[in-house]
Chains A and B, each alone.
Chain A
Amino acid sequence: MLEVYLLGILVSIIKLADMAELGLGIGLLCFVALLLVQIWLEILMSPEQIWQALSEPLNARD
């Protein structure tokens, strides 16, 4: 849902631009970075592998 929210922020910025003076803060930059890292994480993470590791008996792991 973060990407939808980002687009929402962009649309609101454009709607506000003719009404008031706007400056972009560092928070927006961090938010975009968060979004990118989260997408990267979703690409890298493989849930099957994690479930596999979790279902192995405890003594087999050490």
Chain B
Amino acid sequence: MRAIDANLLVCPECHQLDRLRSGCLYQHCKRCGARVSIRRRHALSKTWALLVTAMLMYFPANLLPIMTVRNLGQGTPDTIMSGVISLAKQDMLAIAIIVFLASILVPTFKLIGIAALLISIQKKIQFSPRQRVIIFRFIEWIGRWSMLDIFVIAVLVAVVNFGNLANVEAGFGAIAFAGVVILTMLAAITFDPRLIWDNTED
């Protein structure tokens, strides 16, 4: 049984139960004043919009250089993948694997996961609610780890600044990559997890 079948609403902020008032799109929580609605309006189309934007940003993020390390005036721009490869070549395999997981595997699986979740809800097939919940938890929990590369670039740009001797510049790929991470995180927030259980009762 869902709360909506019992004419009840749960506050997303403080988890207070309230009776459903008919005839309005949303109401305010009695205890904390947060806006409570049965289901977030247009949750699916908003999530789709954010997801498609993230997918468009995904290509420049992986193809354009994310940063250039200049040492005595010399240096080549690094993309995400070439950074991982150069880490692996310098015998830092563990770090290379972590960066590969956080910067390449996680964003890719997140994009595929959110798309699979949305399609399975709209077509009402393919996944059981249990599988959908597993996908949703994965997306929500793992997403922020992709910010790792952005933080590394931010720290390096700030710390390594010795004029002509050595400096680090961020490339446009970093902006696109940050865009992918932030947009997929927003998509995970915009998505209404209650939709997961909606068309499974019958």
Binding site for B on A (CB under 8 A): 1, 4-5, 7-9, 11-12, 14-16, 18-20, 47-48, 51, 54-55
Contacts and interface: CB of A to CB of B under 8 A. Distances in A.
Contacts of A5: 151
A4 B166 CA distance: 26
Contacts of A54: 31
B148 A7 contact: yes
B15 A48 contact: yes
A20 B99 CA distance: 21
Given A4-B147, A7-B148, A51 B155 contact: no
B144 interface: yes
Contact of A11 (B69, B95, B166): B95
B166 A7 contact: no
Nearest to A54: B31
B160 A16 contact: yes
A47 B15 CA distance: 9
A9 B148 CA distance: 9
Contacts of A47: 14-15
A4 B148 contact: yes
Contacts, number: 59
Given A47-B14, A51-B32, A55-B31, A11 B152 contact: yes
B92 A14 contact: yes
Nearest to A12: B155
Contacts of A55: 16, 31
A14 to B, nearest CB: 6
A9 B160 contact: no
Nearest to A51: B14
A55 B32 CA distance: 9
Contact of B15 (A7, A8, A18, A51): A51
A51 B16 contact: yes
Given A51-B15, A51-B31, A51-B32, A11 B71 contact: no
